[in-house]
Amino acid sequence: MTLLWPDIERNDRQPEGGRTGDMVWISGGTFRIGSNDHYPEEAPVHRVTVDGFWIDRMPVTNRQFKRFVKATRHKTLAEIPPDPRQYPGALPHMLYAGSLVFVPPPPPVDLRDWSQWWTFMKGADWRHPYGPKSNIKGLDDYPVVHVSDALAYAKWAGKDIPTEAEWEFAARGGLDGAEFAWGTEFTPGGAHMANTWQGEFPRQNLNVDGYERTSPVTAFAPNGYGVHDMIGNVWEWTADWYSTKHEVDAPKACCIPQNPRGGCEEASYDPCLPNIRIPRKVLKGGSHLCAPNYCRRYRPAARHAEPIDTSTSHVGFRCVKRTPTAE
């Protein structure tokens, strides 16, 4: 049963106006992070407190990322061949610059084998989101993808990457405990509130929401805090190392964690790949590939582990600023 906790305890005051440029002020408070009703890594629900912060009103777009690259000549990890020392046993001819691209497979499909629809494609990067023959012409207002080193952009912009707690607090839009960022129904009144997958993933996309892949960052209505695209469209990086479960709830109100920072780097390694020591961080929000029959992660509580060297065609990011004012 989903419970709503509308009276979130605030711990600081919203600045006058609540917006500065493309950022929105989120007043801090205590809320219930996680879910006990879905995937095990989301549990247990427990209370945490976050201080107030500014957050980007929308994910970083191709237009914004182009400005960054023009100013800094930055190369993303997808544009640089991997270091062979980090991938023991890999054949030299397999170590090339590229990124993971979603390619719908022909039926039948084993949903336990994600390699059937993900292809590590040479030449795929933020400029070429679907492979070397694609481009981002006309996609200035779409979220930038294939960027695993999001912190480089954030530092250049004088910002940071949100913690998992900050991100989830902002995504909930003031609806503490609600299953979705907009309430208790996935499609209230039949309306699609985010860019997700309709149909049988991964072979059938009905595109009822109007989008085959990613969508412009303001295509769907903002949440209660005025923030767009926290759910669906693209997964978003957080600053926290991944852990398989949340901490348990504090026994007393005085012990509620304040501005928590997730697990430790050492515990984030993938136990299924003991020879590859690449730490993983938490992704939040789900993407346009999340579907009822495969990945019900189009919710604020949802979380996913992503190696810090891995970029894909459905992962983006946004930034935060923790100072009292934003530029």
Expressed in percent and rounded to 5, the helix, strand and coil fractions of the chain are: 15, 20, 65
Nearest C-alpha neighbor of 236 from the set 288, 294, 178, 201: 288
3-state secondary structure of 56: strand
Tell me the per-residue pLDDT of 203-213, one tens digit each, with 9 for 90 and over. 999 999 999 99
| pLDDT reported for residue 191 | 96
Outline where 260-306 has alpha helix (H): none
Tell me the per-residue pLDDT of 28-56, one tens digit each, with 9 for 90 and over. 999 999 999 999 999 999 999 999 999 99
| pLDDT reported for residue 6 | 38
Q: How far is CA 285 from the centre of its chain?
A: 5
pTM of the model: 0.91
Those residues of the chain that have pLDDT short of 50 are 1-8, 10, 14-17, 325-327
Nearest C-alpha neighbor of 320 from the set 12, 25, 13, 18: 25
